[in-house]
Amino acid sequence: MPPTRGARLPGAVWSALVRFAEAVGSRGSREEVLQAGLRELLAAWKGTGATVYRFEEPRDRLAVLATVGSVPGAEDGFLGADAKRDEIRAAQTGGTIVAQGAQPGASVPLLSGGRVVGVLWMGRRPAAAPFAAGELQALGLIGAQLGMLLETWRLEDENRGQGEQLLALRRLGRQMTSTLDIARLLRMVVEEARQLTAADGALLYLLDARAERLALEAWAGEAPPPDRAVVALGYGIPGWVASQGKALRVADRGSGLQGAGLETRRSHLAVPLLSEGRVVGVLTVSGAREEAFDPSHEELLGIFAAQAAKAIEAARFFERVRRERDLRDRILGGTPNAVVALDAERRVVWRNQAAAKLLVLGDEALGDPIERYLSAPMFLEALRRVLSEQSSLESLEVSLGAGALARQLLVNVFPLPADEERGATLILQDLTERRRLDEKVNRMARLASIGQLAAGIAHEIRNPLTGVGISLDVLREGEHLSDDGLSLLDDIGREIDRLEALIRGLLDFARPQPAQKRPMRVAKALEWHRTFAEQCGKKDVSFQLDLRENPKIEGDPEKLKQLFLNLALNALEATGGGGRVRIAAELVHTEFGWCARVTVEDTGRGMDAETAAQAFNPFFTTKSDGTGLGLAIAHSIAEQHGGRIDVESAPGVGTRFLVDLPSLERGEE
């Protein structure tokens, strides 16, 4: 609707207003929209140039938004409050100022709600007639329209900024709560704080309440000087904020708060990090501009700091828990004893590495009942007494596994500190090697005594036996002996030979010759296998030999031949027709390192546990004509080579001898 007060608008001016309104309502960027409207004005009034300024508080300056044509001074981008320009006076007074002379033009304030939000300047040619009243009225209408447009844009920016800030805060909140790495979290906080406030730098201090000081933990932007690494409470901006628990904005050096970077920055904003109403640190941002931060920045940074404080407290708590867990794991993991924690339902809830190895408790074992891994009835009964509060400590020895892999364990069972549900802790000590060492020491002492006795007996028997042999030779030369007498002398000779063999065995056992060791393959000690296979065939026993790996060792070929042949002959003797004897060599990794393992097994009559336990004792035999020295000598030969020999057997199933000798080779772990 055309204006009804003041001078009437000429038709051309009215048309210009309409075209201007259409131009500023068109699509495009804000600068493009303003430039389109200004071009319509210049075309209608034949002006030299036009500019739209936005008024910025509290600096009292005008920032250029759009320019068309020639506008002196607009190329700088803004006009300061001290500029002697009509545009500044129009913004300060809120009235239109018309200039004549060398640079004629009109400066029209852009109003919104009675408040100056900008200025429109439109220049005229020096020779042109002055602005008519109708033209000035039209410019006033245009100013009002532009004022509403600028205010609308400002509100859009403000709303958009607040929305973006809220989205940013939500995003940052999710990011901060997604990490429990305290160092990474602190770096994230300072970097995001700097970006949220468009600051040049950000610092984050954490409070050491005992020492009453703040320690600098992270920063973004320019690195702080070394003297700001520690700040006492009450000192400087961060110290004041920490002691007061309040946010603080500083815009210049005249605030009375010295230090904390005021020598190099003119604007600071610091907010406390509060957790449950308690100060845990201070977050500061700084900028080189004199008015870098306003109340909206303070509010935004305060919300962000509250989120950051919660995330930091959670990360610090997790860090404490992790350190305590790592300390516990180092203590319990360093002990050679196995430690297992059980819940009230006897399920495994924790174990150290020693337990994982001893009981084969992998990660998948967590949550499994312990009886899957340790099922000795004595142990389960002791565990029941502890879990039912009938006992506060149970200690017992149990066996785990069988044969060469058998373990003798000392198990201590005691209750966990009870909160809601009762559980139990197991401490398992592997006594296997101690028992083996004790057995070895006892065996060596026993064998030493037996050896001394055997050597003495052998010496005492050999002397008269030699005399008996000579006497037999003299009797054979006599002419008065009948055929029956000669036959009797032959029988006596054979028994003397048996006694000689027994004496040699006793001496071999009592005073073994040192092993003449050299590098060799296991097959070297099994060269007799073809002859042995023939003997097996005569007895209708199948023979299998597996030397595919044939490990390399350091050994005495003759002594090892004696060892393995003795085991093979025993196996053949124990196996009836239709049975099987098998010998195999392989490279294995044991608790003592890489070994060549030779297995001699049969499907013969087997032995019970009591017999197998005595198999290597000297003079123990189940044969009617045996000496009981064969396996004892085999055991001694294995020890001479730094190895070991074990037996696994069961009645009616068969027997397996395992000989482990240190290998000169290594396999794949």
pLDDT beyond 70 at 504:
no
With a cut of 50, say whether residue 485 has pLDDT above it: yes
Residue 198 has pLDDT above 90, yes or no: no
Asked whether residue 231 falls in the same domain as residue 306, the answer is: yes
Residues 6+ apart with CB under 8 A from 202: 190, 191, 193, 194, 219, 220, 221, 283, 284, 285, 286
Give the least confident one: 254-258, 477-481, 631-635.
254-258
**Domain harbouring 34, CATH code:** 3.30.450.40
pTM score: 0.40
- Residue 384 and residue 479 in one domain: no
Q: What is the mean pLDDT of residues 87-112?
A: 86
Q: In degrees rounded to 5, what are phi and psi of residue 611?
A: -70, -45
* 443 to 97, 507, 564, 609, 640: CA distances (angstroms): 121, 18, 22, 18, 15
Q: Give the lowest-confidence range in 56-70, 425-439, 616-630.
A: 616-630
In a domain? residue 668: no
Same domain, 136 and 246: no
Confidence check: pLDDT of 133 > 50:
yes
Lowest-confidence segment of 132-141, 341-350, 387-396, 588-597 by average pLDDT: 132-141
- Whether residue 174 is contained in a domain is answered as no
CATH code, 423: 3.30.450.20
Nearby residues of 664 by Cβ (< 8 Å), 6 or more positions away: 519, 551, 552, 553, 554
pLDDT tens digits along 281-330 = 999 998 877 677 888 888 888 887 887 887 787 777 777 777 777 777 77
**Which whole number is the average pLDDT over 379-407?**
84
Contact 304, 192 (CB under 8 A): yes
Please tell me whether residues 150 and 237 are part of one structural domain.
Answer: no
Query: Residue 328 falls within a domain, yes or no?
Result: no
For residues 611 and 240, the model is more confident at 240
Among 55-64, 477-486, 635-644, the range scoring the smallest mean pLDDT is 477-486
Residue scoring higher pLDDT (65 or 6): 65
CATH of the domain at 627: 3.30.565.10
Q: Is residue 53 part of a domain?
A: yes
Query: Percent of the chain scored above 90 by pLDDT?
Result: 20
- Sign of the CA dihedral 301, 304, 305, 306? positive
Tell me which range, 12-16, 148-152, 624-628, is most confidently predicted by mean pLDDT: 148-152
In terms of domains, do 468 and 604 share one?
Answer: no
239/265 same-domain check: yes
Is the domain of 295 the same as that of 419?
no
Considering only residues 388 and 418, tell me which one the structure prediction assigns the higher pLDDT. Answer: 388
Pairing of strands 580-590, 542-546: parallel
Ordered alpha helix ranges (H), 69-226: 86-93, 133-177, 182-196
Amino acid in the structure at residue 138? A
- Of 159, 51, 155, nearest in space to 112 by CA: 155
Decide: helix, strand or coil at residue 450.
helix
Euclidean distance between CA atoms 594 and 86, whole angstroms? 98
121 Cα distance to chain centroid = 67
Report the pLDDT averaged over residues 400-418.
78
Output the pLDDT for position 1.
36
Residue type at 151?
Answer: E
Per-residue pLDDT tens over the stretch 527-580: 999 999 999 999 999 999 999 989 999 999 998 998 999 899 999 999 999 999
Task: Identify whether residues 346 and 298 lie together within a single domain.
Answer: no
Domain that holds residue 494: 435-510
Number of independent structural domains in the chain: 5
CA atoms of 242 and 519, how far apart (whole Å): 76
In the block, which residue shows the tokens 């009292």? 60
Residue 4 lies in a domain: no
Using alpha carbons only, how large is the chain's radius of gyration in Å?
51
Q: Is 202 within 8 Å of 194 (Cβ atoms)?
A: yes
Average pLDDT over every residue of 176-187: 72
What confidence score (pLDDT) does residue 602 get? 95
Last residue of a domain, one of 402, 428, 454: 428
Sign of CA dihedral 86, 90, 91, 92: positive
Same domain, 405 and 456: no
Backbone φ and ψ for 56, nearest 5 degrees, come out as -110, 125
In this structure, are 455 and 505 located in the same domain?
yes
- pLDDT interval class at 453 (50, 70, 90): low
Shared-domain flag, residues 450 and 547: no
Q: According to the model, what pLDDT value does residue 257 have?
A: 44
Would you say 86 and 109 are in contact if contact means Cβ atoms under 8 Å apart? no
Residues 206-240: tens digit of each pLDDT: 998 787 889 999 999 877 777 778 989 988 899 99
If asked whether residues 402 and 525 sit together in one domain, one would say no
The pLDDT, as a whole number, for residue 520 is: 94
Give the residue from 375, 406, 428 where a domain finishes: 428
> 646 and 657 in contact (C-beta within 8 Å)?
yes
Count other C-beta atoms under 10 Å from residue 547's C-beta: 16
pLDDT at 378: 92
Residue 60, domain member (yes or no) = yes
Residue 169 lies inside a defined structural domain of this protein: no
